[in-house]
Amino acid sequence: MPIPSPSLDLTHPFANNPQPQELLTHSEEQFRTFVANIPGAVYRCIYDEQLKGLSLRTMLFLSEAIETVTGYSASDFINNRVRSFTSIIHPQDRIKIEQAIRQSISANQPYVMEYRIVKANGSTVWVYDKGQGICDENGHIQWLDGVILDVTERKTAEADLRYTQTFLNSVVEHLPMAVFIKDAIDLRVMYWNKASEELFGYSREKVLGKNDYEFLPAQQARYLRANDRQVLAGGELVDIAQAPLITPHRGKRIVHSKKVPLLDETGTPRYLLGICRDITEEKLADTEAAQSAQALRDSEAHYRRIVETATEGIWMFDANSKTTFANSRIAEMLGYTVEEMQGRSFFDFIDEESRVQAQAYVERRRQGIRERHDFKFCRKDGSLLWAIVSATPILDAEGQFVGVLRMITDISDVYDELRLRKQAEEALRQSHQQIADILERITEAFFALDHQWQFTYINGEASRLLQRQPEELIGANFWDVFPEAVGSFVEQQYRQATQEQVPVIFETFSAPLNSWLEVRAYPSGSGLSVFWRDITEQKQAQDALRKSEEQYRTLASHFPNGAVLAFDRELRYTLAEGEALATLGLSKELVEGKTLWEARSPELCEILEPHYRAALSGVAGIFELEYANHTYLVHTLPLKNDWGEVFAGMVMKQDITDRKRSQEQLQERELFLRSIYDGVEDGIFVVDVLETENLGARSQESEVIQEEKPIPGYEFRYQGLNPAHERLSGLCSADLRGKTPQEVLPPDLAAAVSQRYEECVRAGTAISYEECLPLPGEDAWWITTLSPLRDRQGQIYRLVGTSINISDRKQAEVALQESERRFRAIFDSMFQFIGLMKPDGTLLKANQTALDFGGLCLEDIAGRPFWETRWWSLSAQIQERLKAAIAQAAAGEFVRYEVDVLGAGNQVITIDFSIKPVKDETGQVVLLIPEGRDISDRKRTEEALRKSESQLRAKNQELKRTLHQLKNTQAQLIQNEKMVSLGQMVAGIAHEINNPISFIYGNIAYAHEYAQNLLNVVKLYGLHYPEPLPLIQDEIEALDLDFVATDFPKLLDSMQEGANRIREIVLSLRNFSRLDEAQIKPVNLHEGLDNTLLILQHRLKAHAGKSGIEVRKEYGQLPLVECYPGSLNQVFMNLLSNAIDALETQPQPRVITIRTEVETGDQGRAGEDESTRMFQLNSRMLSTPLPPPQCVVIRITDNGPGIPLEVKKQIFDPFFTTKPVGVGTGLGLAIAYSIVVEQHRGHLTCMSEPGQGAEFVIELPIRQPSLSNATSV
């Protein structure tokens, strides 16, 4: 292309009187920027001396982009300094290039070439080269101008597309199923493979380009046309599993057909794909197999009904104790599904305690011993199943042990339930340990700070990051460890988290650690939890990425074939070059100097303007443009100066119409073949055939040794599998591609399939065979068809195989036989008696257990009425009862009763007998299953149990009473010990506090007097020396002597008030503990109540954002009451603490009311007139004498949530609590009840309803004459 002249003024930076040198410099800068932004290498070369008939193409100018294409620097080629450009062109392409350039020069036309070059690293790439010869005024060639760009990716994609098309075409053409394609408009046949010719009986030449009416009978064509239109209208796959087909050469056939519309990008059907497979022979084979298996299936169904309806669990195992069969009853017993039990070991259902015993049982089965025993199993939910196990060894025809049949009878109801295995404390401990383990395993540094910013926990990663041991940091202040963080952004964030109680996340650079950290801080009630994550590498990567982006190059990898235009910031074209301008309806004269809107149509301006403005903002773009029946690939690029400023934009348009059409045709063809290859449900595989040479074996004729002759050998390599084959076989096409059978299959299997492949190659025609191939987890049977493909020389180079899975058909008979044998073995091995009969009572079968008991064989009873057999010959009444039961069962009822039956040797036993009807799908009874279970032992056991039941019941009642007494004693002992210890501790604390307080309290008066004297002296000094020394005057002002003189007496007064308060608290503690009052004495109960409230004052006050609890005291005039004061204080403490607990979560107002009053004997007990509200909560209350003539009543009431009825019934029971584990002991109310009722001969009652609060009423006699010998609890 010509070098632009200085008239290319994109944006002129010189406003007035530009100098020629300045204009030249500016033009050169613009040209250099323009060339640097072209997506390809721009060159100017001489068409120079010949080298073996080739021009050297000595480069005069070559842009730096050539290094991206070739790997060589542009300076290497200038004047052939290091090498000529021709030297890197692929030798096979050099003559072709020379010819193209000469023809171009002769015709005075541009040349366009695609050829290969060898890069500096030795690899080969494809380039696109477009240029033209530049002549002088005499018409002589001066040089060649052009552009080169890398098109390897496009060439590779086109080659891959052609290869895929060839590959799929060869596969589809040789599929053993008919494949055809019709157009969606006229339904004319466009594709018809060989299998279509064989199936339908019409050659390819006869059907291509024709519709159904032109080669099929009218009726058949009309049916197919309607069916095809319906498929196209539906837009989805239509699968017809079985349909008749009339052919001209083979008559009626049965086919499996599929039809699917192939849609264009708008969703409109363009073609109709059809796939048909002849399944006539398969249907015939299926019919024969079905008939031969029906009888076996019927027999198997009979035994299956018996087993599945058995009331016992039936469980079969193989020789390794793996489950091979389990009926629904055993699965129900163990809490599993039948599917969950399949394949699991017998030992999976027992605990460690039973494992040794179970192994001994298994060994006895291996010895052929049949026995019955009790055993313990583990259910799925962890509970135990106790059962009677009847175990029978299973032997094969040679007498070898092959498994065990176990009959399971549930007897769990005679065993105790499991106790709880884990306590809540253990669970909590494990939870704490888990949290600690998690913090030690995380990859982030973690530490915790308390409210004083001291470390309380540091995990291992934090210790590693800080390079300090945890014991060095625990208790240290964070700001002392990191002094540089004081006043920094880090401190600001941490304090924000603690003050606002919100988590904070931020990034910071730690100079001591020389690391970037991501910090996440979470406030909590105990302080601040902090996670540090080292993100130094991430920061470094981001920095490297930013530097890389700053080096972004705008040079694109697409060549500007067609037209190149440049425009300034006002969208005015300053350059228009290229042969494609004419196809766009433009010319250089019509475009240059005009704006976008002046040169182009409004519709096109709307499309182009956003891309132009994006380029001017520094954003490059690429898009396809449809215009004037052509497709253009359009590049828009910003043009920048040396300072990186965008001063103009460039647009390059390449006409890719032919390439687009070619690609669309290739893609369309590939879509056809790919849809067939992927859509077929049968497995398809492709094998490449590579011929090798092997020396043949020597042959001897007429005793003459012949010379060894080479015979052809073959190597087979897999080329691919279709998706259906991948699903069926579990193999991956990508893993197989290019590998031999020996590399991907077991040796024996690889040899077998290679032999089949070689057989097909040597036969030179398609072969079919059945084979059994191992798949992951199972073996599968297949019908495989191999079809050879030949090249143009007639040599077989590929095999196309199709595989149809026939495992179901091949395995059906084997499965039925195995199932029938298994159910027959179960049937005969059952310990209970079981049989099969018709609805009229004719006996068909009986298991071996029933025959052995009766001393019979099957021939003795088969075909006879059931009631005429030996088992029922004890009496006519038994036979008549059986007839009636059979009639009931034949009517559809389940019948069950106990009856005596007769066995061999006149043995009589009692059985649990039942008859179950078996119905068909219409509800008709078709069979009856009689079943009998020997219950003679159970009968005897039930009688023994009845005799011992009364004795056990009496012992149980005695144990309950003993347990009740033990609980009461335990509760009293525990509480007594607690209160003694608490009283000693409180008394000790009170004594220790009282001594120093006495010192303080006794000396405050003297301190007050001394202070007053000192202040008087100071006043006298000020009176007689009004002008003190300056030093003394400064000290007086600094001390603010007047304020001190006023405030110091007040300070002493407040100290005296505080000391008085402490003395009152100490006195209350001593009164509450009452260690010196273990005997009964008259007491002021109001004093005990006030002391208790004083101790609980910290729980009544408002704190932590919660309002306080109001206490209303409504005291009556109470006399002194004879009682144990320490014990009653304990009662008050328990009741008031419970009331506070109940109000913790309640809204305002929260009120506790304490009422006291005196009741006389004629007033009755408190609350008797409100019997609907009062509930005596403990059924254990001792019978007490009538209340004395006069008593006191204390009522403690709260407005909390109330107590439910079911809880009220138990609140006075020892150890009963509704509080969480670790919060309540369940002893408080039980001890209070014992103190009031048993120790003081009073009453303690509760009146409460949900939502109405609770009231506890204490009634105490004023005198306790009968308690003179009692002791304190």
pTM score, whole prediction: 0.37
Tokens of 272: 């109709």
Q: What angle do CA 972, 973, 974 make, to 5 degrees?
A: 90
Q: Which residues of 1007-1043 are buried (b: 16+ CB within 10 A; e: fewer)?
A: eeeeeeeebeeeeeeeeeeeeeeeeeeeeeeeeeeee
- Respond yes or no on whether the N-terminal peptide bond of residue 1149 is cis (omega within 30° of 0): yes
The tokens describing 144, both together, are: 């060649």
Check if CATH label 3.30.450.20 holds for domain 832-934. yes
Residue 699 pLDDT > 70: no
Mean of the pLDDT values across residues 138-156? Answer: 85
Task: Taking residues 911-924, report their average pLDDT.
Answer: 88
Q: Give, rounded to a whole angstrom, the gap between the first and last alpha carbons of the chain.
A: 116
Residue 26 has pLDDT above 60, yes or no: no
Q: Is pLDDT of 890 > 90? A: yes
Nearest-angstrom CA–CA distance, 486 and 495: 11
Count of beta carbons in the 10 Å neighbourhood of residue 958:
10
- pLDDT confidence of residue 675: 66
Q: Give the torsion sign (CA, 1116, 1120, 1122, 1127).
A: positive
Is the predicted pLDDT of residue 830 greater than 60, yes or no? yes
Indicate the CATH number for domain 40-151: 3.30.450.20
What band does 15 get if pLDDT is binned at 50, 70 and 90?
very low
CATH 3.30.450.20 fits 549-662, yes or no: yes
The rounded distance, in Å, linking the Cα atoms of 502 and 523 is 6
Is the pLDDT at 823 greater than 70? The verdict is: no
Pairwise CA distance, residues 935 & 909, whole Å: 8
With bands split at pLDDT 50, 70 and 90, how would you rate the model's confidence at 1112? Answer: very high
Q: Is residue 586 left, alpha or beta, with left meaning phi > 0 and alpha meaning psi from -120 to 50?
A: beta
Residue 929 has pLDDT above 70, yes or no: yes
| pLDDT computed for residue 237 by the predictor | 86
Percentage of the chain modeled with pLDDT above 70: 79
Q: Average pLDDT in the 752-760 region?
A: 90
Quote the pLDDT of residue 839. 92
Tell me which residue of 1147, 1162, 1153 sits closest to 1257, measured CA to CA: 1153
Residues 6+ apart with CB under 8 A from 105: 47, 133, 141
Nearest to 653 by CA among 575, 558, 564, 554: 564
- The chain-wide mean pLDDT, for the chain, equals 79
Q: Who wins on pLDDT, 447 or 158?
A: 447
pLDDT score recorded for residue 1263: 87
What is the average pLDDT across 638-665? 79
Q: Name the nearest CA neighbour of 846 among 298, 906, 832.
A: 832
pLDDT band for 1224, please (50, 70, 90 cuts). Answer: low
Going by C-beta distance under 8 Å and a sequence separation of 6 or more, which residues neighbour residue 440?
459, 460
Q: At residue 1230, does pLDDT exceed 90?
A: no
Distance between CA 1071 and CA 981 in Å, rounded? 16
> Rounded to whole angstroms, how far apart are CA atoms 699 and 917?
76
From 70-74, 850-854, 1002-1006, 1261-1265, the region with the lowest mean pLDDT: 1002-1006
Which residue, 377, 364, 368, is CA-closest to 323? 377
Per residue in 315-338, is it b (16+ CB within 10 Å) or e — as a string? bbbebebebbbbbebbbebbebee
Across 116-125, 157-166, 621-630, 801-810, which has the greatest mean pLDDT?
Answer: 116-125
Question: Is 448 a residue whose pLDDT tops 70?
Answer: yes
Give tens-digit pLDDT for 1074-1094.
Answer: 544 557 889 999 988 988 888
Q: At residue 957, what is the residue type? A: Q
* Average pLDDT rounded to a whole number, residues 1041-1066: 75
CA 581 to chain centre: 59
Rounded Cα distance between 811 and 779, Å, is 10
Mean pLDDT of the region 1198-1218:
82
What six digits make up the tokens of 452?
């004083």
Under the banding of pLDDT at 50, 70 and 90, the label for residue 712 is: low
The amino acid at residue 200 is F
Distance CA 593, CA 576 (A): 10
CATH number corresponding to 314-414? 3.30.450.20
Residue 1233: predicted pLDDT: 87
- Per-residue model confidence (pLDDT) at position 896: 92
Two tokens at 970? 């335990």
Fold of 1082-1273: Heat Shock Protein 90 (3.30.565)
The correct answer on CATH 3.40.50.510 for the domain covering 172-283 is no
Mean pLDDT computed over 1049-1061: 75
| Fold topology of 681-696+708-811 | Beta-Lactamase (3.30.450)
**Would you state the pLDDT for residue 50?**
58
Q: What is the pLDDT of residue 886?
A: 94
Q: What CATH number does domain 433-546 carry, 3.40.50.261, 3.30.1490.20, 3.40.50.300, 3.30.450.20? A: 3.30.450.20
- CB of 686 closer than 8 Å to CB of 720: yes
Name the band, by pLDDT with cuts 50, 70 and 90, for residue 936: confident
pLDDT tens profile 480-528: 888 888 888 888 998 988 888 889 999 888 888 888 889 999 888 788 9
Contact yes or no for 387/411 (Cβ under 8 A)? yes
541-599 residue pLDDT tens: 666 545 433 433 333 233 345 678 889 989 998 888 776 777 777 888 888 889 989 88
pLDDT tens for residues 350-372? 988 888 888 988 998 888 888 88
The DSSP bridge pattern shows strands 1151-1160 and 1110-1114 to be parallel
- The more confidently predicted of residues 817 and 780 is 780
Q: Which of 252-256, 661-665, 668-672 has the lowest mean pLDDT?
A: 668-672
pLDDT at residue 1266 is higher than 70: no
pLDDT tens column, 948-970: 776 777 777 777 776 666 666 66
Residues 442-464, mean pLDDT to the nearest whole number:
87
